[in-house]
Amino acid sequence: MNQFGYKGQQGPSSAASDFNLQQFMIRQVTGEMNTATIVQVLAVTNDGDLSPVGFVDVLPLVSQVDGYGNATPHGVINGVPYSRLQGGQNAVILDPVVGDLGIAVFADRDISSVKANKGAATPGSRRRNDMADGMYIGGLLNGVPSQYVQFNASGINVVSPQKITLSAPQVEIDASTSLTVNSPQSNFSGMVIIQGLLSWLAGMTGSGGGATSATITGVVRFIGQVFANTKRIDDTHTHTSTTAGTPTSSVN
């Protein structure tokens, strides 16, 4: 036993023969090689914003043990690059969050120069399979999400408890059967709001040979001008040459 109270890995039979001694030495050397482990995120440089891929600080969760089985936690690994699903300028931005569990894999050479230059470089040192050269891959043993994109046998679900925003010069929705918009809140607290120019083309030939149309069930509230072909039918539209009498008219 040494002064720190730890026991080494050598057992009674480790030096019993030349073979045992050689086998023990090989185990000790290969035991210093780090390949992959489960880690927890302690800090992140990015927060879901539009930015280059960042770095995380992680804590390996599998502790070290001595010959007695006494556990010693690992230290924090700082500045670990994390992976992002990206090709060129196309990407899914899903940054890690503090508390996430994921996989850290460790390079077989020093990658510090490559991290600094973001290009080909010689190893920064002669270290090999070291935890300092880790790379983080997220999404392991985590809980149930509240915001997600879900793929299953019935289709694709895009769910958010806050807001979903589509930004593009053109947005096209192709629905061969139906397009349903549900906004069930009352008193106009849940509305479908369209800002800008909306052109609705009816009269195209559908699968049944008839005219394509839209059916809206519920309250429709227009703010601005509404045209049916070239006729304006909003609240500024007036009728002329009317005959005095009943204030209402019938519509057939």
Q: What is the pLDDT of residues 188-207, one digit of tens each?
A: 455 566 666 666 665 444 44
Residue 127 lies in a domain: yes
Q: Which domain holds residue 58?
A: 34-138
Residue 218 lies in a domain: no
CATH code assigned at 87:
2.40.50.230
Contact status, residue 77 vs residue 134, Cβ threshold 8 Å: yes
Residue 209 lies in a domain: no
DSSP assignments along 130-195, one per residue = -GGGEEEEE-SS----SSEEEEETTEEEEE-SS------S------SS--------STTSS-----
Residue 87 lies in a domain: yes
Residue 90 lies in a domain: yes
Residue 59 lies in a domain: yes
| Percentage of residues in the chain having pLDDT higher than 70 | 73
Residue 93 lies in a domain: yes
Residue 1 confidence (pLDDT): 44
For the chain, the residue count is 252
| Strand pairing class (71-72; 148-152) | unpaired
* Tens of pLDDT, residues 128-159: 999 999 999 988 999 999 999 999 999 999 99
How many structural domains are present in the chain?
Answer: 1
* Tens of pLDDT, residues 206-228: 444 445 566 666 677 777 777 77
Which residues sit opposite 72 in a β-bridge? 64
Residue 119 lies in a domain: yes
Is a pLDDT exceeding 90 seen at residue 242?
no
d(CA 123, CA 77): 19
